[in-house]
A and B are shown apart, each in its own frame.
Chain A
Amino acid sequence: MLLSALGQGAIYAPMALGVFIAFRILNTPDLTIDGSFVFGMTVCAMVTVAGHPIAAVFAGTAAGMIAGLVTGILQTTLQINAILSGILTMTGLYTINYMVLGGQANLYLQSMQTNETGVEVPVASQTIYKMMASVFGSGEISALVLSAIIVVVVSIILCIFFKTRPGMAIRATGDNEEMVRSSSINADRSRTFGIMLANSLVGLSGAMLCQQQRYADLGSGNGMLVVGLASVIIGQALFGKRGVTIGVVSAVVGSVIYRIILQGAYQIDMPSYMVKLLSALIVTIALVMPLTKEKMNTMRIRRAGEKEAYK
């Protein structure tokens, strides 16, 4: 029960990290995410069907990166508004994704092969999750372990990267672009690179989901950005706004908690159409939490002050 929520949370964690980089570090509302998630998924599906499951995960990541590059160019070189750039890329990606899947909306990870009697039969493709299961025994645990390993590795790489020069440049660009421009760092390049990094993570997430559920579907990206934002906001409510390392951890934890809450919501006996309202309320609560804390602090200080005054 908790295992499956953890597994789902881990699969969507790179996507939450991508949202975190775009929204928190770069301060850019990037709407490419709904499209790049599916792009990572469709490219991964095609490479998986061709028989290269491990390469497929990297291909999906690269696909997300290309989507980010397009949005970055629209934003910087062509000076198009950030929100609009993302929408344009996302809209264009719909057609691209459709074409990648060979003009269909849904692709199951299988290929037609001739069996010993000479008949063409569909054979399920190998995926990284199946490889893992064949080594460590089947089940949710091996899938969770594999997703967790990927997420941990990616998180460590990210934390280290943001301490390096180019990583610092991206953070600085998000913090104060004017200052960065005046200090001879190429802000456009940093911004584009940041958006590419964010979307490559989103593409990785799409690729992981594709291999775990064994099919690619064009509808999979719907509302992905909202899920990512909810994860980031929940993480932030718990850990506060601190350094990048804490931020990376909080996005991952937020993603897992979001899934646990969602699972809980479907678990209790409430009509499933109520879940949407519930997730809206959860995000609202998470957003209000820091404010209430501040209010309570001021109240405490004020009371202490009043006590002092009446002494």
Chain B
Amino acid sequence: MKALKKIFLFTVVTALVALSLSACGGKTADNGAETPENVKPKLKIAIVQPMSHTSLDQIRDTIISELEASGLNTEIETLNANGDTSALATILQNVKSKGVDIVIPIATPTAQSAKSVFDGDGTPIVFAAVSNPVAAGLTGEDCKDITGVSNNIPSDEIVKLISNFQPDYKKIGFLYTSSETNSVATIAAAKAYCDENGIAYEESSIASLTELQAAVNSLLSKGVDALYTGNDNSIASAMPTYTDAAYAKKIPVYCGADSMVADGGFATIGVNYVQLGKQVAAMVEKVAAGTSPAEMPYETLAEYAKFVNLQAADKIGFALTDQMLEGFSVLVEKDGTSHFGQ
């Protein structure tokens, strides 16, 4: 009896704390005016991301703005596990119990958790930024309600990018975080391509950001002419550390995302997250119009983003010719003005 009383007390106190915190602001993006003739039920959409960082946030924001512009009467809820993977299932189960029409999980583990939580109950799942949907188990017989947009980058494009700016390069240095599925997959494919075509490379993987500087320096000491990192969430959050170490030795840092170039990387052929978000939003609109996900195979990016950072080029003493810059957009000007997100 005593224990019951305690449980009650405890729950009340916690609820009070939670309520006082919730006063810090809501999170539902609402559109569609509440007018009497607006009787069509709102389409409930939940966007779930595993953590916050530039590219994931960019995907989320693009999806929201595209859907708002589409004129669909939607109620979009955005949720974030803040890096606590054990909370992903909790968040998704909440979404399920509240009732939702379309779920948009961002990144591989989120999409996999969404699959296991919704377990083929017919709720359409449109994933974003899963680099290998087949390996992630999102394309099998039991995935009729699942589709989405993969963010895979062809390896030959990466090598083309490097030879465009450094025609006489000898050796590439690959750097990635070993726990990031997307990043590892990109590098593994790039290494296979290099092996096939006789291109020399060195690789270094880190388990946490504390090892970043040492890993960069070890690659530089092995005489690489160029560094490449795919869309690696962890390294993306520490670009200044990465580029400072590399540019001190006049070695360029090529990367897999435009956000990474905005944060100091030299050039990218990569995922255009705005484009990715637009493709996801377009798929969601199709689902909303009644197309079944089963009729839509997952998509890859329709166009890649090619960006260059002139400030970084200055730091490494590259003189860029017009021929090199063909097809590239300048993301950061010589004086550091950034056009990112415009």
Contact = CB atoms under 8 A, between A and B. Distances in A.
Give the interface centre of A105, A224, A257 by most chain B CB atoms within 10 Å. Answer: A105
Interface string B106-123: 001100110110010000
Contacts of B137: 108-110, 122, 124, 214-215
A282 B137 CA distance: 36
Nearest to B112: A215
Interface string A98-124: 100000111011100000000001111
Q: How large is the interface on B (under 10, 10 to 19, 20 to 34, 35 or more residues)?
A: 35 or more
B141 to A, nearest CB: 8
B17 A263 contact: no
A278 B21 contact: yes
A58 interface: no
B17 A278 contact: yes
B15 interface: yes
Contacts of B90: 4-5, 8, 259, 262-263, 266
A8 B21 contact: no
A219 B10 contact: no
B13 interface: yes
Contact of A224 (B22, B86, B115): B86
Contacts of A224: 86
A277 B14 CA distance: 12
A266 B140 contact: no
B83 interface: yes
A126 to B, nearest CB: 12
A8 B3 contact: no
Interface string A238-263: 11000000000000000001010111
A271 interface: yes
B311 to A, nearest CB: 31
Chief secondary structure at chain A's binding surface: helix
Interface in B51-102: 52, 78-87, 89-91, 93-94, 96-98
* 9 nearest CB pairs, A to B: A108-B137, A270-B22, A4-B93, A106-B181, A1-B97, A272-B80, A218-B179, A215-B112, A213-B116
Interface of B: 3, 6-7, 10-11, 13-15, 17-19, 21-22, 24-28, 52, 78-87, 89-91, 93-94, 96-98, 108-109, 112-113, 115-116, 119, 134-142, 178-181, 184-185, 207
15 contacts: A108-B135, A121-B140, A124-B137, A215-B112, A217-B181, A218-B178, A222-B85, A223-B84, A238-B6, A267-B94, A268-B19, A270-B24, A272-B80, A278-B21, A285-B10
